[in-house]
Amino acid sequence: MKRLNAVFSKDLSSVVNEVKDVLVNGGIVGLPTETVYGLAALVANKPAVEKLYKIKQRNPDKPFAFHFADIESALPSLAVLPPYAYRLLEKYWPGPLTLIYFSKSREKIGVRVPCHEILVSVLKELNQPLFLPSANISGEKEAVSADEVEAKFDGNIDLIVDGGAPVYFKPSTVIDLTFHPFKVLREGAVSIREIVDVYIKKRIVFVCTGNTCRSVMAEYLLKKYLPDINPYLVQRYEIVSRGISPPENAPAASTVMEILKEKENIGVANHRATRLSRHLVLSSDLIFTMEDRQKEFIIKDEPLSEAKIFNLKKFLPPDIEEDFIDPIAKPRVVYEQSFERIKKAVLELIDWL
């Protein structure tokens, strides 16, 4: 068994290429991660995977998690996740969290995106996933150094890469999202408390066309009045606004800034228009649009999101339940009318929340 010292290597690419050669040829490699050391085998190499099960003495009915180089590579392997799961990925991927969920073919799979430089470089060079369970005999303590890997598996694996000490000295946290709302199968580097905090904080998004007028007013009015009416809810909601086709990074309309400052003492000078992303749609619990056409636009792209998208006009009295018309480039009186209607809807929304 060969051992490479990557800690003092001046040429990481040579280490990565040697690891790649071993893996492509069906070998098993001890690799560092940010959590503990792992044993790597190519997912696509069936004999190597069978060998991995054998040397770990692991039940063949217990599958390994897929490890990908980045989030963009990992997500296509999964069905559409619940909103809070995307927020978990925001916070902990790349990093020490393994998700178990359904694949697009409705099979349960485990997926992780690590953040260790050497491991990520290997994954990018391979351009395909690895199985990388902890470097231990199943049920025993995980190896946290190359020396421990060598002591446990000398003669059974083909290569060890010494990447120094891990960051966490404990395995990744494993969370099963096929249970409602979730089940933590193993508490590791990410605590259960941290996961619960992400789960309970819901995300609300207001959407208009340019994210310089209507959605801005709705966002900042809700941020102002939510703590006044129910302080507890402030801890439970993240409130943002976006545009379907915004002038990217533009400030709020000057008239909007004036009205919010004069009528509510709200300053929005730091606001910048931002486009609504697919990730934000998927990671949000509630989306409120200013017009039906914006709602239809989002649903066309993400049909499964329909149940969480509402036109804000639904929170107005029936006699004035109409779309919030875009006031951009219109007289100030139009902005003020839009402001009054949005405020009325937002205050009603708070009661609903």
For the domain covering 201-352, report its CATH number.
3.40.50.2300
pLDDT of residue 27: 97
Give the residues of the chain that fall short of pLDDT 50: none
Backbone angles phi, psi at 316, to 5 degrees: -100, 160
Q: Show the tokens assigned to 43.
A: 């997912």
Domain boundaries, the chain: 2-191, 201-352
Under DSSP, is residue 219 helix (H, G, I), strand (E, B) or coil? Answer: helix
pLDDT of residue 50: 97
Task: Give residue 249's region: left, alpha or beta (phi > 0; psi -120 to 50).
Answer: left
Task: State the DSSP H helix or E strand holding residue 176, giving kind and residue range, or none if neither.
Answer: strand 173-176
pLDDT of residue 124: 97
Handedness of CA 120, 124, 125, 131 (dihedral sign): positive
Counting every residue, how long is the chain? 353
Distance, in Å, from the CA atom of 230 to the CA atom of 233, rounded to the nearest integer, reads 6
Beta-bridge partners for 109: 101
Q: Is the pTM of this model over 0.85?
A: yes
2-191 CATH fold: DHBP synthase (3.90.870)
